[in-house]
Amino acid sequence: MKTEPVYLDHQATTPLDPRVFDAMEPFFSLQFGNPHSRQHRYGWEAEEAVEKAREQTAAAIGATAREIVFTSGATESNNLAIKGVARFHLQHGRHQPHVITLATEHKCVLESTADLQAEGTRLTVLPVTNSGLVDLDQLAAAIDEGTVLVSIMAVNNEIGVIQPLEEIGALCRARGVAFHTDAAQAAGKIEVDVEAQQIDLLSISGHKLYGPMGVGALYVRRRPRVRLTPLFSGGGQERGLRSGTLPAPLCVGLGTACQIAVAERAAESDRLAALRNRFLTSIRARVPDVVVHGDLQSRIPGNLNLGFDGCDGEALMTVLPDVAISTGSACTSASVEPSYVLRALGMSAALAGSSVRIGFGRFNTEEEVDYAAGRLAEAVQGIRANEQQPAAMVAGE
C-alpha cells in the first residue's frame, strides 16, 4: 500500500535535488555572510559562492556570467524583462512602443503586457495553432515600425510544447526587435542557447529545475546591449538592474541545479520520454478515446496533457488523492474556469474542463508511472460509468 501520493506535477514545481540541498546548506549556517560585504571573510566567501553560481547559471544557456541578473523567480524576471524594455523606450521618448506576445503565455507575462497598456504601450497578443505553436508568418506580419519587444515562451507550462526559438530569434534580430523568452520550463530540460537562438532576454526559475523556490535569473544580452529600466529602487546591486541583497544560499542552489541539469540532461530526457510513453501507452490501452492536447513531437519529454471527454477534471482529482496531478496550471487552479491555454488551442470549454496535466520528473520510477496510469484509467472509467446511469434513466422516461 502506498503511503505518499505519486508526484506527477513537475510543471508546477520540482522537488529539491538532495545534491542542491547539500550545496546550499553551509550558506544557511556557517557561511552566512552578506555577499555585498567587502571588508571581511564572511562577505568574500558568500560573494565567491554567488559568482560561481552566476557562472553555472550562465553556462546552462550559453551566456556569460556578467549577463545574469539574479531575481526572486521567473515571475520577477518576466516583469523585469517586459516592463523594463517597454519603460526604457517610454522614458526615452518613444511614442507608443509596441509589444508582441502569445495567448498561451504564463499569467505573469500576460499581466505584465496588459499593465503596460495603461502606461502607453501598444500590445498584440498572437493566437496559437491547434497544436499550441506560434504561427511564424503571423508573428512576422505583426512586427511593425514601433515594435520594441517580442515575448514568447520557450516551453508552455500546461501543454509542454516547445516554440521554434531559433526561427523567432532570427526573425526578431532581422527586424531589430528585442526577443525575450520565458524559459522557466525549458532551462535544463531542452537545448537553450542564447547565441544560436539569438535570444536577448531569458527568464529562469529555480524551483522548476530541482533548485529552491524564491530564486530565479534574467539573462540580459550585453552585445548588442539590451537596455532596461529596473523595477526596484535601491542599492544598485546586479549592475543597477535589481537592487536588494542577494540570497547567497538560494543563488548557490540555482547554480548547482543548473550545473546538474546540464550534466544530466541527455540521459534524463531519454528516461523521461520513456516514462511518458509508457504512461500514455497504458492509458490508451484502457481509455482508447483519450485526447493528447498540444503537439506531441515539439514537446518536452516530461509532459502530457490529456482530455477525457465527459469526465470533469476536478472530479478526477477528487477520486485520485493518491496521484498528484493537476487541472490547468497551479496558478489559476483557484478558479474553476477551464484553462485559457487549452481554450487558446481552439478547444471547447467542456473538453478543456475534462483535461489533466501530468508532469514526469527526475525521481519518478516505472512502478510509480504504472500505478498512476492504472489509477487514472480506473478513475475515468468509474466516472463515466456513474455519469451514464442518470442519463440512461432520463432516456427511459
Residues found near ligand PLP in the complex (CB under 6 A)? 73-75, 106, 108, 153, 157, 182, 184-185, 205, 208, 216
Let me know the angle formed at the C-alpha of 266 by 276 and 200, rounded to the nearest 5 degrees.
100
Cis status, amide bond into 224, omega within 30 of 0: yes
Question: For cell 501543454, what's the residue?
Answer: 159
Other beta carbons within 10 Å of 138: 14
d(CA 210, CA 207) in angstroms, rounded, equals: 6
From the CB of 324, what's the least distance to ligand PLP, in Å? 16
From the CB of 49, what's the least distance to ligand PLP, in Å? 21
From the CB of 163, what's the least distance to ligand PLP, in Å? 11
- Supply φ then ψ for residue 223, to 5 degrees: -130, 110
Rounded to the nearest 10°, the torsion over CA 243, 253, 61, 87 is -20
Q: Strand 178-182 relative to strand 147-151: parallel, antiparallel, unpaired?
A: parallel
- State which residue, 254 or 379, has the beta carbon closest to ligand PLP: 254
- State which residue, 56 or 181, has the beta carbon closest to ligand PLP: 181
From the CB of 221, what's the least distance to ligand PLP, in Å? 20
Is 331 in the active site? yes
- State which residue, 104 or 124, has the beta carbon closest to ligand PLP: 104
Residue nearest to ligand PLP (CB): 73
Residue in 108, 172, 311, 331 annotated catalytic: 331
DSSP 3-state percent helix, strand, coil across the chain (nearest 5): 45, 15, 40
- State which residue, 185 or 259, has the beta carbon closest to ligand PLP: 185
From the CB of 180, what's the least distance to ligand PLP, in Å? 12
Among candidate residues 77, 90, 81, the one with its CA nearest the CA of residue 254: 77
From the CB of 31, what's the least distance to ligand PLP, in Å? 25
- State which residue, 46 or 186, has the beta carbon closest to ligand PLP: 186
d(CA 328, CA 337) in angstroms, rounded, equals: 9
- State which residue, 82 or 351, has the beta carbon closest to ligand PLP: 82
Strand partners, 291: 307
d(CA 34, CA 39) in angstroms, rounded, equals: 11
- The answer to whether 98 and 146 have CB atoms below 8 angstroms apart is yes
- Distances in Å between the Cα of 153 and the Cα atoms of 62, 267, 317 are 18, 24, 28
HEC per residue, 117-133:
HCCCCEEEEECECCCCC
Catalytic residues: 331
